[in-house]
Amino acid sequence: MESQSQPQPQPQPQPRRPRGFAATAAAAAASVSPTGAPSGSAGASTASSGKGKREREKEKERTKLRERHRRAITSRMLAGLRQYGNFPLPARADMNDVLAALAREAGWTVEPDGTTYRHSPPPQHQQHLGAFSVRSGESPLSATSLKNCSVKATLDCQQPVVRIDGSLSPASLDSVVIAERDTRSEKYPSTSPINSVECLEADQLIQDVHSTEHDNDFTGTQYVPVYVKLSTGVINNFCQLADPDDVRQELSHMNSLNVDGVIVDCWWGIVECWNPQKYVWSGYRELFNYIREFKMKIQVVMAFHEYGRTDSADVLISLPNWILEIGKENQDIFFTDREGRRTTEFLSWGIDKERVLNGRTGVEVYFDFMRSFRTEFDDLFAEGLISAVEIGLGPSGELRYPSFSERMGWRYPGIGEFQCYDKYLQQHLRKAAKLRGHSFWARGPDNAGHYNSRPHETGFFCERGDYDSYYGRFFLHWYAQALMDHADNVLSLANLAFEETKIIVKIPAVYWWYKTSSHAAELTAGYNNPTNQDGYSPVFEVLKKHSVTVKFVCYGLQICSYENDEAFADPEGLSWQVLNSAWDRGLKVAGENTLSCYDREGCLRIIETAKPRNDPDRRHFSFFVYQQPSPLVQGVICLPDLDYFIKCMHAGDITGDLVP
């Protein structure tokens, strides 16, 4: 009788080691005694548990932000491959799709299951050389240039192993593939593709893969006029020219640099300082006469905001005194935060159509000021000396809310606060909520944090926060609509005052927290631009209606060095969105630099932004404004070589001026 086989014991599966939050929970459970009592005191255990929970929540939020950052980078890479490389990538492509597309571009066959192979053996001369060239956006290696290269005899009798060096940049991945040496041979231990061909020196390969011979040559590109902004203190608070000799010297210096024109701020707080509708333009008349002698164009700024209420400011220009007197009796003419604190940087948009300024509305006050300027300097408009007028639509002359007030304690990179708690804007909010059918929505969010909060510290701006709820979407739409209504109202009257004159509007560059889902800083500034919608298109539709030129701030490279990604900032991503959104709507675009100093590399970055060479439509800035914190005559020139910068913008021959 056959012996029955005994059943073999089945191996027990090894328990999985807990990781992440599970590991933390397991460690916490292990610290409890068998009787169920904590090993330490109850108070200490509770405090430790609460602290650990908060840390876990913070780490969870940081992990989400990092993952969103990675997805944003991947999205931009895919967009670039589609736009500039003509890669037919699917809408929801991943890295496997990218690798397959690159392999097919290089001549390989990629099956749906991922199997990758060469469809046919390479030509004999390429087998021996182990190299071939394909399409490149820069300067591709040609097969002819590699034919005459000598290769070690050992390679002639070996089957070439083809590899793509992972150290090459994405732009060069489809430029060159070089045979790898046999790593089994001690004679050729190196696996670097640079060393696989003797005649290709390292500098030669770098020059072929990423040619920079003409990177800094802007000869033949579009001509972009350059304007230099005069320092703020050139006109004092009594509307007098502060120092005529310095002004002459500075204008002479600009003229020697072939500057196209100057930017002059016309301050409401100086011209109409003491009494309503009593305008004093004498200092500006004298200044314009000096500029006329040097035959430079003038762009004027209708500056309706205050200037200099910071610790570092050496000049203070407030709103007109008669406005401040009205504000003492009626503080609701100013923007107000949730705690009821007022900012006098700019008048609230809630009074644009309220007759609270000695019988005039806000827009009527702006119109009377603009009409007075147009009448006073009619001769300069007639002869074309004044070429454009910029309309100040908010703090710092930018179209935004004063949500980042340093006087209120804001410091970068705080998210800022909503500025809609004066009684006039609150009336508008109640009306909008009633029309929507939800009167209880007539309130600002109570969980939006404070000026220096981070998005993940608030219930409104965090991942899946209330900003994306029904109420949140309603409030943010109303908040942004109030900004657009203000621009529409003021620009309608500006076109009436300055008919047939170019009108300019300055758009802010709120780049911090751009890589988060809520874009919290942009939301408090009035731009409803979270990741699930475009907040700039509606604004530009309003500006297109008035045929304005959009002026946007450009950044150099130095901004990325001190961000350290703690604020999830992305100035380049923001610039890409704003500039292309404006261009796509047929708006003219101009640029302006920050007051920070730039090195030569940052200078070139600005020029590439002003007239991108890879734009198929050859779109470019209509002009560029250079500003610095002090006059040129004092020698504090932030761009290391302003003459070089202007020549690049003017598309002149600057090859002899390049610095190694």
User: Among residues 250, 272, 390, 592, which one is catalytic?
Assistant: 592
**Residue appearing with tokens 């509307």:** 239
DSSP state of 625: E
Distance from C-alpha of 622 to C-alpha of 502, rounded to nearest angstrom? 11
* Strand pairing category for 226-229 and 334-336: unpaired
Catalytic status, residue 563: no
Q: Give the chain's length.
A: 660
> Beta strand pairing status for 588-593 and 624-626?
parallel
State the angle between helix axes of 42-85 and 95-105 in degrees (0 to 180), rounded to the nearest 10. 30
Burial class of residue 411 in the structure, from the number of CB atoms within 10 Å of its CB (0-12 exposed, 13-18 middle, 19+ buried): exposed
User: What is the enclosing helix (H) or strand (E) of 502?
Assistant: strand 502-507
- Specify which residues 307 forms β-bridges with: 317
Q: Which of 598, 455, 472 is nearest to 517 (CA)?
A: 455
Q: Which of 250, 272, 390, 398 is catalytic?
A: 398
| Helix segments in 414-558, DSSP class H | 423-436, 470-497, 520-525, 537-545
Cα 564 to the center of its chain, rounded Å: 15
| Alpha helices, H only, 40-94 | 42-85
293 is catalytic: no
* b/e per residue 457-473 (b: at least 16 CB within 10 A): ebebbbbebbbbeebbb
Q: What tokens were used for 230?
A: 């005069």
Tokens of 452: 């220096």
Question: In sequence order, which residues have a C-beta less than 8 Å from that of residue 238 and are 6 or more positions away?
Answer: 270, 283
Helix axes 537-545, 571-584, angle to 10 degrees: 40
| Active site members | 398, 592
